[in-house]
Chains A and B, each alone.
Chain A
Amino acid sequence: MMQLCGTDTIELEVNGEKRKVTVRAADTLLHTLREKLGLTGAKPGCENGDCGACTVLLDGWPIKSCLMLAAEAVGHSITTIEGLKNAPMQKAFFENWGFQCGFCTSGFIMTCHALATIHPGADDDTMADWLQSNICRCTSYEEIQNAVKQVLGKGDSSGVQGVVSMKEK
């Protein structure tokens, strides 16, 4: 981890691209992605770690970007929803009506995509364990469950761009 005082320029690796960005020490990764890099797919739903709307992947693992400082993300590979290209999970959400307003969708897809990548054979308990981190206020969750099961069933979740390391932490 790096040390940062006041405002400084850091380099983040986002969706396979190295991006230089000026941040305050206190800026969260969510704030930096949205306000400085124009990556608004990750959403602020609570900025308190409770809703998962801000979920992005850090080295392939879902994290709540509202709970991480931008400075902490230096040296890691970050994947946002904008970095997913035709991922099966996106298609599955599309086909299963896995959203209504769509505000939770980026976060949910990132969590589900990581689940399918890391635990392609996840059972219902593992699925619930992972997905309880995110809130959807519009759907009944059944639609999201159907989407995830569609992908888990196929055990295929290619489509991540950028570097993803799958080592268990």
Chain B
Amino acid sequence: MTAIGKDVPRKEALDKVTGAVKYNDDINEPGLLHVKMATSTCAHGIIKSIDVLSAWNVPGVRAVVTGDYLPVMTGSVIKDRPPIAINKVRYYGEPVAIVVADTEHEAQKAANSIKIEYSPLPMVKSPKEALVKGAPLVHEKLGEYKKAIDDVYPAAGTNVADHSKIRKGDMDKGWSECDVIVEGEYTMPKSDHIAMETRNVRVKIDPDGKVYVSSSTQCPHGIKDTLATVFSLNEGDIIVNAPLVGGAFGGKAPVNLEFIAYIASRAVGGRQVKLANTREEDIATSPTKIGLEAKVKLGATRDGILKALELKYFVDAGAYSDTAPRMAKTMASNGTGPYNVENVFCDALCLYTNNPYSTSFRGFGNMGHTFCMERTLDKLAVALNMSPFDLRLKNAISPGKGHTSATQVKITKSNTGDLAKCIYKINELIKLDDDLRVEVAKDKVIARGMSCIWKTSASNTDAISGAIIVFNKDGSLNLIVGVMEIGSGVKTGLAQILADKMNMEVDQIHVQMPVNTESSPKHWKTVASMSTVMAGRAVLSAADDAIRQIKDLGSIVLRVDPSQLEIGGGKVYMRSDPDNYVEFKDMVHGFKFRGGNSIGGQIIGKGTYIMENLTILDRETGKGRMGPAWTVGVQAVEVEYNTKDHTYKLVKAATVMDIGKIVNPKTAKGVVMGGMSMGLGLGSREGFLYGSNGGILNDSLRTYKVMRFGEQPDYMVEFIETPAEDGPYGARGLGEHGILGMPAALANALTRATGVELDQVPIDAELIWQLKTGGYV
């Protein structure tokens, strides 16, 4: 009766197609006040004055608040960010003052009327500029900031928020063994998550000190922990409610608007306030994706065996560091891609600039290093006169060959799966071991490109998850976990895992969709593609707990040892005589004997999980175990390029990934395809454009382009199943991975099609034209 491997529709699917599903902003209580922000129109400057008088004159205004009202510093890595600017602004769009008013339009009107004067400072607009000697400092007091974690190394008196190093092997020896060495320089701009639901939150503070937060978030428990620390509150007084989320992609992982909404509620005596981003604020004020500049040098023998790799990453964190240092570290640790390289040298600098600040984004930095390495591999293939397909196959990381990662973790079957199998498989979907560029008509070229991918999580070494199973009287059960349903179908997957373990039908499992920190067990964060793995393990352990209780009770009723009992189909029965059974419905709320006397009670199973065996990486060498198993895979793109006007069409896109165990095939495929679509968007059109004042020019969905219906290629997705020993049923993470290799595969295909090296994204007809013609007509 296993539910694993079945296309079980999302538990909340009916609510979603009828419009009944409630997202955070769909729940409105009468009497709540509205918060609007006045944001900076200066990218770097000292705040000379803030004139709030006019705001107070707008009818309906209940509070006008500036940064000095409740000055706190926030940050999950370095505490470098005041939620409302104090003394200085560091990016265009930064909140400088807020207004609380009876209605949204009154709040907006008042916010618009606030006059702020700045004395502008010179801007730092790119990682390169951040590193120039004598560059303006984004944070003059960097050396004085508190660190939220130990292993981050901000350099006082510079714009360097962190420096991650990899020193593996012997570089001199490595280079001396190389017959061919290639180099490349790459850039990826900052861009936005564009979850269709913009971030929004409500907060109220009761007279007894209880703080009620309702948020569109990936991280309700993180909000609770963080608000408690930042505002010195009792953790137990903070209750965070989080309904279903309308897309997140990492953008709703950090605590962001919650700080401001809490401050706003305090300013109006604890009344409930709502702060909901407009699309423009969601892009320009809330955190974005990191930008990247990189230099890669890669060498190999004439047979194409990789021998030495030097990586230099310059990460554009923007004005505040948030999780950017962790993403830079992720790039350093995984920068080889899924290839064995004995000698690796990497410096990853995470840099402050006066661009909007960054936070986690689908892929957590892994898309960046993938782009750099995979473009370089294609250059190497050309230099070696070898097919890019063979080159990748030859160096594919694999167990049993003494391969190690850049952080010197031994590669095993369990921790990486089977990349070679993925590579052979994708060749059946899009032919890659053949001619990769074909002229099909006058002006028309078909070209293909590929990219291997890998990613493990970069979670805290002590990240936890928990699950509670509560039985209903009819024998069905409710599953309560702290994982957020952000669209990945994770809660349905967990129900499938539980149904399998309990040997029940999946429709007998009811999953609590919203998370409430008062009653849901803690799940670290719904990020890092680790939810099914972590919560899945917790669910299995909760099921074990419940099964033990059921068997104990069953053994009394059936008068046999618990070891002689089995469960299934909503019954506990004797293995030797299945007709001798007790139905769950007669026992999960206690068993009543004929005379009326009863034993047992409600069966409640609990399970917990903590990440095991992860270590902090060594500061000097990067040695250590950052995440559990990697998920490896390979992606390919086929384009049709018009040699005359330099436009191109996306024809096909394929992914083959080793996900350990397929819990729900259709959902897994959908999540991967969605990632591929986003990756193609980043490769072909997405990225911020800045005006001379440092502000984002394309801060609306009219000007910020995303993939639209009809532009999609034919998608092909296949899975390989090499179990990860520590995943539930062997499952590995897969939620983010679809995005990772798409920009690289696209750039590789287009480089081949156009004959110009495309080492930056987004790649549009104009860029190709400029590179081909030098920009002259």
Contacts and interface: CB of A to CB of B under 8 A. Distances in A.
Interface of A: 24, 26, 34-35, 39-51, 53, 80-82, 84, 90-91, 93-94, 97, 99-106, 109, 124, 127-128, 131-132, 134-145
B674 A93 contact: no
Given A46-B701, A134-B709, A103 B666 contact: no
Contacts of B677: 139-141
Given A82-B19, A100-B674, A135 B197 contact: no
A136 B247 CA distance: 10
A135 B708 contact: yes
Contacts of B21: 102
B709 A131 contact: yes
Contacts of A136: 196, 709
Contacts of B667: 97
B537 to A, nearest CB: 24
A145 B677 CA distance: 14
A139 B19 contact: no
A103 B197 contact: yes
For the complex of A and B, the 6 pairs showing the least CB-CB separation, nearest first, are A41-B19, A103-B246, A128-B710, A101-B487, A81-B19, A102-B16
B678 interface: yes
B209 interface: no
Contacts of B20: 41, 82
Given A94-B13, A100-B674, A140 B18 contact: no
Interface string B688-730: 0000000000001110001111111011000000000000000
A105 B710 contact: no
A103 B278 CA distance: 15
A103 B23 contact: yes
A138 B487 contact: yes
Given A103-B246, A142-B712, A53 B702 contact: no
Given A48-B701, A139-B677, A99 B16 contact: yes
Interface in B669-689: 670-671, 673-674, 676-678
B232 interface: no
A137 B19 contact: no
A61 to B, nearest CB: 18
A137 B712 contact: no
A131 B244 CA distance: 25
A91 B105 CA distance: 38
Interface string B142-184: 0000000000000000000000000000000000000000000
A143 B673 contact: yes
B599 interface: no
B447 to A, nearest CB: 21
Given A53-B196, A101-B248, A137-B247, 11 more contacts: A42-B19, A45-B198, A45-B279, A94-B17, A97-B667, A100-B674, A102-B246, A135-B194, A137-B195, A138-B674, A139-B673
B506 interface: no
Name the prevailing secondary structure of the B interface residues.
loop
Interface in B236-252: 244-249
Contacts of B279: 45-48, 50-51
A111 to B, nearest CB: 9
Interface string B6-34: 00010011111111111101101000000
Nearest to A139: B674
B516 interface: no
Contact of A135 (B17, B19, B706): B706
Contacts of A80: 19
Most buried by B among A93, A127, A136, A140: A140
Contacts of B708: 132, 135, 141
Given A102-B12, A137-B196, A139-B670, A40 B715 contact: no
Most buried by B among A40, A93, A99: A40
B489 interface: yes
B465 interface: no
Contacts of B246: 43, 101-103
B486 interface: yes
Contacts of A143: 670, 673
B38 to A, nearest CB: 19
Given A101-B244, A102-B244, A135 B196 contact: yes
A143 B486 CA distance: 18
B334 interface: no
A95 to B, nearest CB: 8
Interface residues on B, range: 35 or more
A141 B709 contact: yes
B247 to A, nearest CB: 4
Contacts of B671: 100
Contacts of B486: 101
B664 to A, nearest CB: 10
Given A46-B279, A97-B667, A131 B710 contact: yes
Contact of B14 (A34, A44, A94, A139): A94
A156 B678 CA distance: 33
Contacts of A97: 9, 666-667, 670
A53 to B, nearest CB: 6
A142 B19 contact: no
A35 B28 contact: yes
Nearest to A130: B709
Contacts of A40: 19, 22, 26
Contacts of B353: none
Contact of B701 (A41, A135, A144, A145): A135
A54 to B, nearest CB: 11
Interface string B291-317: 000000000000000000000000000
17 contacts: A34-B26, A40-B26, A44-B25, A48-B701, A81-B18, A90-B17, A94-B17, A100-B671, A102-B21, A102-B246, A103-B195, A103-B246, A136-B196, A138-B247, A140-B677, A141-B707, A141-B708
A104 B247 CA distance: 10
A43 B197 contact: yes
Nearest to B14: A94
Contacts of B701: 45-46, 48, 50-51, 135
B709 A144 contact: yes
A40 B671 CA distance: 26
A145 B428 CA distance: 25
B451 interface: no
Contact of B18 (A35, A48, A84): A84
A69 to B, nearest CB: 14
B488 interface: yes
A73 to B, nearest CB: 18
Contacts of A145: 709, 712
B243 to A, nearest CB: 12
A153 B198 CA distance: 35
Nearest to A108: B709
A39 B26 CA distance: 9
A132 B709 contact: yes
Contacts of A81: 18-19
Contacts of B15: 102
A100 B489 contact: yes
A145 B709 CA distance: 8
B19 to A, nearest CB: 3
Nearest to B22: A40
A105 B270 CA distance: 35
A50 B702 contact: yes
A100 B487 contact: yes
